[in-house]
Amino acid sequence: MSTAEPILLTPGPLTTSRRTRQSMMVDWGSWDDRFNQLTASVCEQLLSIINGADSHHCVPLQGSGTFAVEAAIGTLVPRDGKVLVLINGAYGKRLAKICEVLDRSFSTFETAEDEPTTAADVDRLLRADPGITHVALIHCETSTGILNPLPQIAQVIAQQGKRLIIDAMSSFGALPIDAQQVPFDALIAASGKCLEGVPGMGFVFARKESLATAAGNSHSLAMDLFDQHTYMAKTGQWRFTPPTHVVAALHEALLQYHEEGGLPARHQRYANNCQVLLDDMAKLGLRSFLPAAIQAPIIVTFHAPKDPRYQFKEFYERVKAKGFILYPGKLTQVETFRVGCIGHVNPPQMHAAVAAIAQVLQEMEVFEI
């Protein structure tokens, strides 16, 4: 790619393939049978990734991933329910804010940004507060790249008779989640992440029994997943204008996903990207924020250089001019920047990105790392 088309080393939007971009050159009628078939195919393929066809509905929704998170909380948590929100980063805090705005009772449990929530923590919290009905967890917290232990936490929640809502925005499609082995009421993801589609569509995998009893829960007409699913099941159509080009791009991205080898191959490519990134950055003296044991191969947070000549904005613009877009840090206590491992990129491009970073640090005369 030229500098006019920089590679996005971000957690989404991310670099997409030429095929995916080309698929958006066709206009679709939102009520047309061919488009309805496209939507049905996308939902069927998405369900297959989590082995969820027997137990869950896939409910697509216009908007970003946060739209879908809000829709899931508003639809699946009754107005007299209570959510335990597990937090170790910015997106856990955002989920708590959603509960507050929706007037859902909630409590929070927050660990440090480099400390996963444990199943023992959740077990203790649920025993201490029998009023909790739902637990909300960020699988991979994108503000750092930390991976929380989903299977173990899910089992504790099920044993306590509570319901789990998973924000899998950054992990779905790359990290394995089997709906028949990991019990959950809802899992939420979006088109512009590990599936390598474009932004604009969220989707919620909702347990069939839970969705069936959710009528009247929602705070919103547009974000009512019960209504969205009921109407779509009856007519094959979206209730309101769908993001037609986004759906078409996701359909094309899913074809490529399966051609590549599905989740195992996607995970391996991202893991290879991540290892190249970590190894090459270490040679420059740049330290990752997280230890390897809890680092997901999605996005890596690095400590910023200590040199006073380092300024992120200049660093960002210089790296961008060499063809790579990085991401600012999202931590509150230490200065960092982030580099994504996902998207239509591969290890040679990761080597090139770190080489560009090395050149920029030299140009900026940043020597104290």
Spans of all domains in the chain: 7-13+262-363, 18-258
Query: Does the pLDDT at position 147 exceed 70?
Result: yes
Q: Tell the burial category of 19 from Cβ atoms under 10 Å away from its Cβ (0-12, 13-18, 19+).
A: middle
| pLDDT tens, position by position, 271-284 | 999 999 999 999 99
User: Are 218 and 226 a contacting pair, CB within 8 Å?
Assistant: yes
> Which pLDDT score is estimated for 263?
98
Question: What is the structure's pLDDT at 138?
Answer: 98
Sign for the CA dihedral angle at 21, 24, 26, 31 comes to: positive
For the domain made up of 18-258, give the CATH fold: Aspartate Aminotransferase; domain 2 (3.40.640)
So what's the pLDDT on residue 5? 83
Give the pLDDT band of residue 12 (cuts 50, 70, 90): confident
180, 172, 189, 175: which is closest to 154 by C-alpha? 180
Please name the fold of domain 7-13+262-363. Answer: Aspartate Aminotransferase, domain 1 (3.90.1150)
Q: What is the DSSP string of 324-345?
A: EE-EE---SSS-EEEEE--SS-
> Distance (Å, rounded) from C-alpha 194 to C-alpha 347?
16
- Angle subtended at Cα 64 by Cα 256 and Cα 1, rounded to the nearest 5 degrees: 45
pLDDT, average across residues 210-237: 98
In the block, tokens 């969220």 appear at 202
Please state, as a whole number, how many other Cβ atoms lie within 10 Å of the Cβ of residue 283.
Answer: 9
Residues 6+ apart with CB under 8 A from 208: 55, 56, 57
pLDDT of residue 366: 95
Give the pair of three-digit tokens for residue 108.
């929070």
The CB density around residue 305, as the number of other CB atoms within 10 Å, is 21
Model pTM score:
0.96
pLDDT band at 2, cuts 50/70/90? very low
What is the predicted pLDDT for the residue at 4? 62
The mean pLDDT value for 108-128 works out to 97
Average pLDDT over residues 306-319: 96
Sequential DSSP letters for 24-70? GGS---TT-HHHHHHHHHHHHHHHHHTT-TTTEEEEEEES-HHHHHH
Spatial distance between the Cα atoms of 38 and 248, rounded to a whole number of angstroms: 7
Looking at residue 171, its pLDDT comes to 97
Taking alpha carbons only, the member of 214, 245, 204 closest to residue 22 is 245
As a whole number, the mean pLDDT across the chain is: 96
Residue 223 has pLDDT above 50, yes or no: yes
Residue 333 is predicted with a pLDDT of 77
How far from 169 is each of 26, 175, 204, 319, CA to CA, in Å?
Answer: 27, 11, 10, 27
d(CA 256, CA 246): 15
160-217 tens-digit pLDDT: 999 999 999 999 999 999 999 999 999 999 999 999 999 999 999 999 999 999 999 9
- Nearest to residue 300, comparing CAs of 327, 268, 322, 318? 327
Half-sphere exposure of 68 (CA within 13 A, CB side): 27
Looking at residue 275, its pLDDT comes to 98
Tens-place pLDDT, residues 332-366: 678 999 999 999 999 999 999 999 999 999 999 99
**What angle (nearest 5°) sits at the alpha carbon of residue 335, between those of residues 332 and 337?**
105
Q: What is the mean pLDDT of residues 254-275?
A: 98
Q: Which two tokens stand for residue 217?
A: 């829960």
Mean pLDDT (whole number) for 127-154:
97
- Each residue's pLDDT tens digit, 47-88: 999 999 999 999 999 999 999 999 999 999 999 999 999 999
Exposure string for 64-99, b = 16+ CB within 10 A, e = fewer: bbbbbbbbbbbbbbeeebbbbbbbbbbbbbbbbebb
